[in-house]
Chains A and B, each alone.
Chain A
């Protein structure tokens, strides 16, 4: 009898654990935390509102297609809305929707019903939900970043899309790598073979060629955004084949490249966020090998969008491609960049940055290129 009771108890605990485990990967706890955070933030925001009643405070829902803590563009978006809340007293609610794509549209609907003034969504995962929902709520305004709704599908005059010219920042990374390379061989590792990733690649190759027309670039694709050991192997292979810079646009897999750089004592270029700073405290030796990261400054573009809303100048119903000129993308500038990159290269990068921003140089984008054209570019620089 005792045994049976024990068994039942154990089963119950285990199944509870099970439910907790597969149900939401701990998102709920995280979301609650995030809620508390935002709640804490909104308090001072409300105070600010009282102080300046002239300005009407807007309510914003930020829908994230993943979880905070990605050290990348979701975190950056969160920073952006935080800044909006602090500076302009808007009321912000962050909703982490996790990895389950089936929940996205329901969340967009809920947020629309809840009557937020502005609903911000992250990435291509929210493109379709926005397309399906936005027309039914003409009074709500929608902002999507790192993706655009298809404006030919209907009247999306209440949706504003922000896309990033990652190719422009990668162009600068290419200049840096080609200028500092001793072997004349560079490496590139992508997560998957697709336009979003190839946009980085095309810009990188073009930048490198602008410095050294004979530059060679080894290109590889990990085939996964989470297989960091595989990525490390591939990066090691590229370093072994003579590359002395490897630029990786492969999400969390990219950590593998950074480790491979440390093992071989060669350089890696980070992506999306300032990756040298990930290691600044725990492993400075590793950080010393990441002279720069190609960044998408989601926060800046969201703040910019909010300011334009206040001015009434935001082009609703359109997609805006933001690049170096708007500070939407760029190379990270930190102590390691200052220390590792020679001054003449820094000047070269700054000049190129101005030219790209000024429209003097136009960097090719992988969006709009066919697969064959991209393959041709890759093969033209393959060693």
Chain B
């Protein structure tokens, strides 16, 4: 059985699938990073993903262009995040309640819209929707093992990795990014130096919406080539977990998302082994708990160290 395990895990198709499985979590994870940094727990990522997943499919089927579909799904997701921002920031509503409301609307609304458009409440199989293309990267494509893993992924997968780097630069090296972090750390201090907390948070939620939209588009136009009801199945929430595991940093969250992806891929591939299915289905969740535990151990160690340091100084 061990030998069988190795033959499954050490294949290029397995490594290839990790990147694909991780992509929506990476993108949604970035959405979580930005909003969390601004001090907003954005649980509406799930709902925004679902809405943009449907929008992408419908618009690409209508316009016969995947790019327009992508654009439309980003717009709808940004629009939703602005609504969320208006409720939270202008009307001072509870963040979690608003997020829940958006998720509920998205879950029911997408099925309703799907039914109005196709007469089917389960899947968009009747629509000839398009997908975001897969890219073969020249040169890398020809390297034996690595080429098979890294080349031929979906355009959005590459975009996800590039955006992680860009987001890192944005958060740590631009004025706006640093302001967003400052607002999350201590909003009153920021206010006192004359920076608008509201504006900064609007900006953060807008970016969060953009990433949620990309994640949603990948679900229905990359991962799958169509929409099915409630297809995000909690990935928006896994992204929040990835974000807290990744300590609110883009690179950390990317790593956490890849770990989730690897655990998920493993659970998909290991079904062939004679292990009880319940055990296999447990893997991604067990990894989550393990990851969060490791993270908090590490953090409490760090805190202890700083405490002892401070005590010694005295």
Contact = CB atoms under 8 A, between A and B. Distances in A.
Interface of A: 7, 10-11, 14, 17-18, 21-22, 24-26, 29-30, 67-72, 193, 218-221, 223-224, 226-230, 232-234, 236-238, 240-241, 251-253, 255-256, 259, 278-279, 281-283, 375, 379, 382-383
A218 to B, nearest CB: 5
Interface in B115-131: 115, 119-123, 125-128
A226 B230 contact: yes
B228 interface: yes
B268 interface: yes
Nearest to B270: A237
Interface of B: 8, 11, 13, 17, 20-21, 24, 83, 86-87, 90-91, 101, 104-105, 107-109, 111-112, 115, 119-123, 125-128, 219, 223-226, 228-231, 233, 264-265, 268-269, 271-274, 276-278, 281
A350 to B, nearest CB: 29
Nearest 6 Cβ contacts at the A-B interface: A26-B112, A25-B108, A21-B105, A220-B271, A69-B121, A227-B233
17 contacts: A7-B90, A21-B105, A21-B108, A25-B111, A29-B112, A67-B115, A69-B121, A70-B121, A72-B122, A220-B277, A221-B271, A226-B231, A241-B272, A255-B122, A255-B125, A278-B123, A382-B273
B83 A14 contact: yes
A221 B273 CA distance: 13
A234 B121 CA distance: 24
A81 to B, nearest CB: 19
B125 A226 contact: no
A379 B271 CA distance: 11
Nearest to A25: B108
A252 B123 contact: yes
Contacts of A282: 125-128
Contacts of A379: 274
A21 B274 CA distance: 44
Contacts of B107: 25
Given A21-B104, A227-B233, A193 B277 contact: yes
A223 B281 contact: yes
Contacts of B273: 382
Contact of A240 (B13, B24, B90, B119): B13
Contact of B111 (A26, A221, A233, A259): A26
